[in-house]
A and B are shown apart, each in its own frame.
Chain A
Amino acid sequence: MRLRDLAHARTGDKGDTSQICVFARGPAQFSQLERALTTERVAAHLAALRPRRIERFVLPNFQAVNFVLHGVLSGGVTRSLALDAHGKTLGAQLLDMEIADA
């Protein structure tokens, strides 16, 4: 199945850093999300980004996993040449990830 069936996501930006928080649709999906969403898989799925560093924060209170991708926004929204300078479309792209059935 696809991540989109288990989760929803919102993407934000701070300077040259993109932040993608992925939220489970329910408690059962949260444990699946926590297992499947490793930094390696996120980096591989968004391969074109080539982050300098990825941080991963698990939030049981929101049933969410937050990814902080450093160095992926071409210097940040104010000087980036990218069409989506904020990287706002990245979360939705992550939701296309294939997840093994639990």
Chain B
Amino acid sequence: MKTIRIGAGAGFAGDRIEPAVELVEQGELDFLCFECLAERTIALAQLARQRDPAAGYDPRLERRMRAVLGPAMARGVRIVSNMGAANPLAAMEAALAVAREQGLTGIRMAAVLGDDVLASIAGEDLPLLDRAGSLSDLKPISANAYLGAFPIAQALAEGAQVIFTGRVCDPALFLGPMIHAFGWAEDDWTRLAGGTAIGHLLECAGQLTGGYFADPGYNDVPGLARLGFPLAEVNEDGTAMLTKVAGTGGRLSLANAREQAMYEILDPARYLQADVVADFTTLNLAEAGPDRIAVSGATGHPRPESLKVSVGYRDGFIGEGQISYAGPGALARGQLALDIVAERVAMQRLAVDDIRYDLIGVNAVNATGRAPEPAEVRARVAARCADRATAAEIGAEVEALYLNGPSGGGGVTTTLREVVAVASVLVPRGAVAPSIVHGVS
């Protein structure tokens, strides 16, 4: 049976660089995929592109490409990534420039376009998913449809060695090479579901090999400072063996693989993707040796008729301030600090859309209601306001606690940022037309 080897080079935009190099040099890969595009990132990238038409792709693209392009091309490893963000064409041009700078000529690259549907849906009365409201209530700055894997497979079939997409379903980055290598049909729901499960397991890179899993004394993971990223030996029937480069840090355990299989999955019988609805209730993961997990059994149903579109829009400003208290009575002084700011906000009639008061160490992330008296607390106030100047007042009010608040406050920090929020809508599949542009170094 034919097998291909696919590595996970990054699980988010800020991920470590060297594990991908390790995979290229020692993983005997056919493909290396980088998932670098969080939900909101594309909206921020769209703003960058508005300021500079040559920008709008992942700011770390050049750094990653300088590290992996040479060794990957020398070994015939093809690269797929969503580092194109809001501008896949400019991403391809930037990577071609890196190739030329390194003396790599004749490298064929491609950009997958067509996810950007802002012009065609702006102002339409589409209901928002997951909350009340309509697209027409928002002022969108970006709207990107989640494309599937077939445009990636097509770009590979047309000879591309390096491919940049914008928004695609994350597992599709991995499914594309499988479709290309094995010639899976558009309605082969079982294999597409199998490939989706494998892609989903790989898409967060180190989260499969021991990252985000360690809990000393309960789940021990060796060598997290040198965590090796995973790769899959994928079979033509849509099953795979997951593993990692020998000697790297981390551990690919069954418990960790199960966690990652269910990561961000709501209804496990209906994992909605552009190419298939995958059913993970039949998925089987099995230990097959040290750092080796066999994946089989995923089943699939016909793909949805609609595609999800992620819409980025401006949503005011968030202002925030924090101050610490320690020693006896720290909790009471922290609470007093919050009460003072709350009274000041009301007194000055600050126009806040939403405001939140936390005691970090007590109830900021703790949702259980149980909170023994801590040795230190950090009072935190955060508010979302339509107006930048009002949001800035929140930090200023916390800072004023130095001289006007409870005794012993220290370490004030304040932040102010514009909010680019994300909402989702559905569009008919036919309203989205992917296309491919090729280039050569």
B373 within 8 A of A: no
Q: A45-B368, A47-B367 are in contact. Are A23 and B266 (CB under 8 A)?
A: no
B-side contacts of A4, CB under 8 Å: 218
- Report chain B residues within 8 Å CB of A46: 367-368
Pairwise interchain contact A8-B368, C-beta atoms closer than 8 A: no
Distance between Cα atoms of A25 and B283 in the complex (Å): 18
Contacts of B364-414 to chain A: CB distance below 8 A: 364-369, 380, 382-384
Q: A14, B264: Cβ atoms under 8 Å?
A: yes
Q: What residues on A are CB-neighbors of B380 within 8 Å?
A: 83
B 187-215 binary contact with A (CB < 8 Å = 1; else 0): 00000000000000000000000001101
* Cβ of A90 under 8 Å from chain B: yes
CA distance A13 to B130 in the complex (A): 12
Interface centre among A75, A78, A81 (most CB of B within 10 A): A81
A101 at the B interface (CB under 8 A): no
Assess whether B366 is in contact with A93, with CB atoms less than 8 Å apart.
yes
A10-B266 in contact given A16-B130, A49-B367, A78-B422 (Cβ < 8 Å): no
CB pair A82 B420 closer than 8 Å: no
Residue in chain A with minimal CB distance to B259: A10
- A55→B212 contact, CB < 8 A: no
Contact of A48 among B258, B281, B369 (CB under 8 A): B369
Bound: A61/B421 CA distance, A:
36
Please measure, in the bound complex, the distance between the C-alpha atom of A90 and the C-alpha atom of B364, giving whole angstroms.
12
Contact for A12 among B264, B268, B269, CB less than 8 A: B264
How many of chain B's residues have a CB under 8 angstroms from any CB in A? 53
Decide if B368 touches A93 in the complex (CB within 8 Å): yes
B26 interface residue per 8 A CB criterion: no
A80-B441 Cα distance, complex, nearest whole Å: 44
Residue interface bits A1-32, CB-to-B below 8 A is 1, else 0: 00010001110111111010101010000000
Contacting pair A48 B367 (CB below 8 A): yes
Residues of B within 8 Å of A57, CB to CB, are 267-269
Q: Which interface residue of B215, B259, B318, B420 has the most chain A CB atoms within 10 A?
A: B259
B121 within 8 A of A: no
**Interface residues as binary, B340-371 with A (CB distance below 8 Å gives 1, 0 otherwise):** 00000000000000111010100111111100
Residues of A within 8 A of B40 (CB): 77-78
Which of B130, B283, B366, B383 is A81 in contact with, Cβ under 8 Å? Answer: B383
Contact of A75 among B131, B258, B284, B364 (CB under 8 A): B131
B39 within 8 A of A: yes
C-alpha gap A66/B168 in the complex (Å): 26
Q: Which residues of B contact A10 (CB under 8 A)?
A: 212-213, 259-260, 262-263
In the complex, whether B282 has a CB less than 8 A from a CB of chain A is: yes
Chain B residues with CB under 8 Å of A93's CB are: 365-368
Closest A residue to B364 using CB positions: A83
Which residue from A9, A48, A55, A92 sits with its C-beta under 8 Å from B266? Answer: A55
Q: Is the CB of B255 within 8 A of A90?
A: no
Q: Which residue of A lies closest to B260 (CB)?
A: A10
Question: Is residue B336 contacting chain A, with contact meaning CB distance below 8 A?
Answer: no
- The answer on a CB contact under 8 Å between B262 and A64 is yes
The A55-82 residues at the B interface (CB cut-off 8 A) are 55, 57, 59, 61-64, 66, 68, 74-79, 81-82
Q: Which residue of B lies closest to A23 (CB)?
A: B258
Name the distance in Å between B156's Cβ and chain A's nearest Cβ.
29
CB distance from B293 to the nearest CB of A (A): 12
Known contacts A10-B212, A17-B266, A61-B282: A83-B365 contact under CB 8 Å: yes
- Contacts A48-B367, A83-B380 given; does A21 touch B130 at CB 8 Å: no
Residue B285 interfacial (CB < 8 Å): yes
Offer 7 A-B interface pairs, CB within 8 angstroms, sorted by A.
Answer: A19-B266, A47-B367, A63-B258, A79-B384, A79-B419, A81-B356, A83-B360
Which B residues are closer than 8 A to A by beta carbons?
Answer: 39-40, 129-131, 212-213, 215, 218-219, 255, 258-269, 280-285, 297, 315, 318, 354-356, 358, 360, 363-369, 380, 382-384, 419-422, 424
